[in-house]
Structure 1
Amino acid sequence: MDDAVKDLPVRRSEDASAGRYIIDLPGGAKAELTWTARDTSQGSLRIATHTGVPEAFGGRGIAGRLVSALVEDARAQGFRIVPACSYVALWARRHPETQELFAG
């Protein structure tokens, strides 16, 4: 990952039903992962609905950092992730050590 973006923090913005993980990129651009919350009889879920990184910043591991932040929160807070976003689903397949954190 290039030095200009590797240390940029991941911000969290959320309310009771939805939220997002954001990285503020150089030049005012933003990368984000959005989710919605759902409580079920099997526990709390966060449905990852979209991951977006501006094309100029693609291929630098930024989307992976967003998913990693979601996974860290799932571990800490006890929810499971539904990978409705194709990138989150791909990330989950590439990281089998996290499978217990993913649902459906």
Structure 2
Amino acid sequence: MTDLPGTIDREDGDSGGRWIYRHAGIEAEMTYSRLGQTKIIVDHTGVPDAFRGQNVGLALAQRMVADMRAEGLRVIALCPFVKAQARKHPEWADVIE
């Protein structure tokens, strides 16, 4: 995983949630919605300008993939960033449709 000075946490609810990277009072996020018991839809990745070029989006995607692997869930990527990263990371094909 990408080595960043902040932390990535996950907020998970009945209908969806988000992964949040926090550092120096600034947040980046990747949001998702649940689609039944076996899938989620990742619909947005937002990275503030303060984090640009630091691979924060990639770190969020890596955490999402790791969590979904651990939980045995599949991902439908509606987020353009996640779609692009999935093309660059064929090893994520077991998680991202």
Show the counterpart of 2:34. Answer: 37
Normalization by structure 2: what TM-score? 0.91
Normalization by structure 1: what TM-score? 0.86
Show the counterpart of 1:22. Answer: 20
Flag as ranges the 4+ runs of structure 1 deviating above 4 A.
none
Unaligned segments of structure 1, at least 5 residues: none
Query: How far apart, CA to CA, are the structure 2 residues paired with 1:51 and 1:58?
Result: 12
Residue correspondences, number: 95
Query: How far apart, CA to CA, are the structure 2 residues paired with 1:81 and 1:59?
Result: 25
After the TM superposition, which residues 55-74 of structure 1 pair with which residues of structure 2 at under 5 Å, given as runs? 55-74=49-68
What's the % identity of the aligned pairs? 34
Unaligned segments of structure 2, at least 5 residues: none
Higher fraction of helix: 1
CA RMSD of aligned residues (A): 1.3
Contact 2:11 2:19 in 1 (8 A): yes
- Alpha-carbon distance, 1:25 to partner: 2.2
Query: How far apart, CA to CA, are the structure 2 residues paired with 1:96 and 1:7?
Result: 27
Show the counterpart of 1:86. Answer: 80
- Alpha-carbon distance, 1:101 to partner: 0.8
What CA deviation, in whole Å up to 9, does each residue of 1:55-92 have, x standing for no partner?
A: 12111100000011110011100100111000000110
